Amino acid sequence: MTRPLLEIANLNVTFRGRRSILPWRRGRDVQAVQSVSLTIGAGETVGLVGESGSGKSTVGRAILHLLRPDSGTIRLADFDVTAFGRREPDGYRRAVQVVFQDPVASLNPAMVVGQIVGEPLGLHYGMKRAAQRRRVAELLVQVGLQPDHADRFPYEFSGGQRQRIAIARALASEPDLIVLDEPVSALDVSTQSQVINLLEDLQSTTGAAYLMIAHDLAVVRHVCQRILVMYRSRIVEEGSSDDVCERPAHPYTELLLASIPDPNPEVQREKARHRRELAVENAKPVATTGCPFAEHCPHTMDICLTTFPEPTQLPWGSRVSCHLYNQGETRDPRGSK
């Protein structure tokens, strides 16, 4: 078996609280990511799903070397990201790229599109002006824009078009992996589907792998082959997209799926009923070492309050971190409902 393109093992990231010599003014440290492991094969699309504050974007930023993890390893192709010093090797910056959520903030307002998209060409391939211009024109056409857009400033474009510019920049260095951090959640419905299709088309021509970080499980299911579900700094479930969405094993995944409203009123009435059944509040205090979902879980047991479970492999291939599956028996979530 060939080595996967990206391997993350046991990643931990802590955000330090505010430093102060006065002990009562010190901020608390926040564990943003705990023992996260994931792999992405070449050309694969993997989804990382979770709510705001779950740590999903932090994982992406660690891969991009925009922050420094406390422990764990990140290996991409032949690069050991966690061993980098302050400045990473140029080859690494070529190999992994990013598209951020906010297409307004992620493009430098003082540069024209040609400079934005052409910059990586100059940095990584030493391309001169004229060569850059030609390649930028090709890239713009590739993402559905026009060559003469190169002379315009980002503010002259709509949200969807700006996201296309960000994608063109990400493609410029011909990366092996593109981190898509909520790439469509700021876009309108009709633009969203255009950008999703564009990303899929580009993947079939460039062969780049995608890590798609998003909160919308329906979008992620449509785009990704595998999904990892994160809840408050930990991965609670992972599996193929269809498995995770059709037979969710973790109670949190089940709640998440029930919470996505469906445009079909009949389907939605049924989902809303299910959602209300699942919504519970447990008053018992949960230790920091316990399962973070125990507060809201309909199945909370005593062990959940103190110990976070090791991942269990399920017969259909998903892996879940839940004590319901650590008892030797296998609970079929759909059947037990």
Partner 1 sequence: MESAQSDGSLPPVASPRRGSRWWRRLRQNRTAIAAGLVLILIACGAAVASWVTPFDPNLGGSLRDGLQGPSQRYWLGTDQVGRDILTRVLFGSRYALLAGIQATTIALVIGVPLGLTMGYYRGWVDRLLLRFVEAAVALPAIVLALVIVSVAGPGLTRAMMAIGLVYSMVIARLARGLVIVAREEVYVDGAKTVGNGATRIMWRHILPNIAPALIVQTTLLFATAVLAEAGLSLLGVGASTNQASWGRMLADARNSLNESIWPAIPPGLAVFATVLAFNTLGDGLRDAFAREARGGRLGIATVTARPTSTAPTSPPSDPDSMMSVRDLEVAFPAIDGPGDVRVVQDFSLDVGRGEVVALVGESGSGKSVAAMSLVGLVPDPGRATAGSIMLDGQELVGLDFESLRNVRGTKVGYVFQEPSAALNPAFTVGRQIGESLREHAGMTKSQARRRAIELLDRVGIPDPHLRIDSYPHQFSGGMAQRVVVAMALACSPRFLVADEPTTALDVTVQGQVLDLIDGLRREFGLSVLLITHDLGVVSDLADRVAVMYAGQIVESGPLHEVFRSPGHPYTEGLLLAVPRNVRRERSLPTIPGVVPPPAEWPTGCHFGSRCAYVEPECHTSAIGLTVGQRQVRCRRADELTLVGIDRPTSRGIS
Residues 22-81, interacting with partner 1 (CB under 8 A): 51-52, 61, 64, 66
Say whether residue 147 binds partner 1 (CB under 8 A). Answer: no
**Residue number, 93 or 134, with CB nearest to partner 1:** 93
Structure tokens at 91: 């080859």
**Residue number, 262 or 310, with CB nearest to partner 1:** 262
List Cβ<8 Å contacts ≥24 apart for 84-91: 90/123, 90/124
Report in angstroms how near the CB of residue 201 gets to partner 1 at its nearest.
Answer: 8
Residues 186-205, interacting with partner 1 (CB under 8 A): 188-194, 196-197, 200
Per-residue contact track with partner 1, 83 to 122, x per CB under 8 A?
A: ----x--x--xx-xxx-x-x--xxxxxxx-------xx--
Report in angstroms how near the CB of residue 91 gets to partner 1 at its nearest.
Answer: 9
Say whether residue 20 binds partner 1 (CB under 8 A). Answer: no
C-alpha span between 232 and 54 (Å, rounded): 4
**Residue number, 134 or 271, with CB nearest to partner 1:** 271
State the DSSP code for 336.
Answer: T
C-alpha span between 109 and 304 (Å, rounded): 49
Residue at token pair 């002259």: 156
- 203 in Cβ contact with 210 (< 8 Å): yes
Candidates 166, 202, 294, 322; binder of partner 1 (CB under 8 A) is 166
Residue 29's identity, in one-letter code, is D
Candidates 25, 68, 129, 222; binder of partner 1 (CB under 8 A) is 222
Q: Which stretch binds partner 1 (CB under 8 A): 132-140, 157-165, 308-316, 322-330?
A: 157-165
C-alpha span between 88 and 65 (Å, rounded): 8
Candidates 157, 210, 308, 325; binder of partner 1 (CB under 8 A) is 157
Say whether residue 262 binds partner 1 (CB under 8 A). Answer: yes
Candidates 34, 35, 58, 161; binder of partner 1 (CB under 8 A) is 161
- 11 in Cβ contact with 67 (< 8 Å): no
State the DSSP code for 308.
Answer: P
Quick one: which of 171, 15, 11 has its CA closest to 75?
11
Residues 267-326, interacting with partner 1 (CB under 8 A): 268, 272, 275-276, 279
Say whether residue 139 binds partner 1 (CB under 8 A). Answer: no
Report in angstroms how near the CB of residue 226 gets to partner 1 at its nearest.
Answer: 13
Q: Which stretch binds partner 1 (CB under 8 A): 3-11, 28-36, 154-162, 297-305?
A: 154-162
Residue 322's identity, in one-letter code, is C
Candidates 133, 134, 135, 152; binder of partner 1 (CB under 8 A) is 152
**Residue number, 131 or 303, with CB nearest to partner 1:** 131
Handedness of CA 188, 195, 235, 178 (dihedral sign): negative
- What value, to the nearest 5°, has the Cα angle with vertex 39 and ends 37 and 42? 165
Residue 297's identity, in one-letter code, is C
Number of residues in contact with partner 1, rule: CB under 8 A?
A: 80
C-alpha span between 104 and 110 (Å, rounded): 12
Half-sphere exposure at residue 260, Cβ-oriented, CA atoms within 13 angstroms: 17
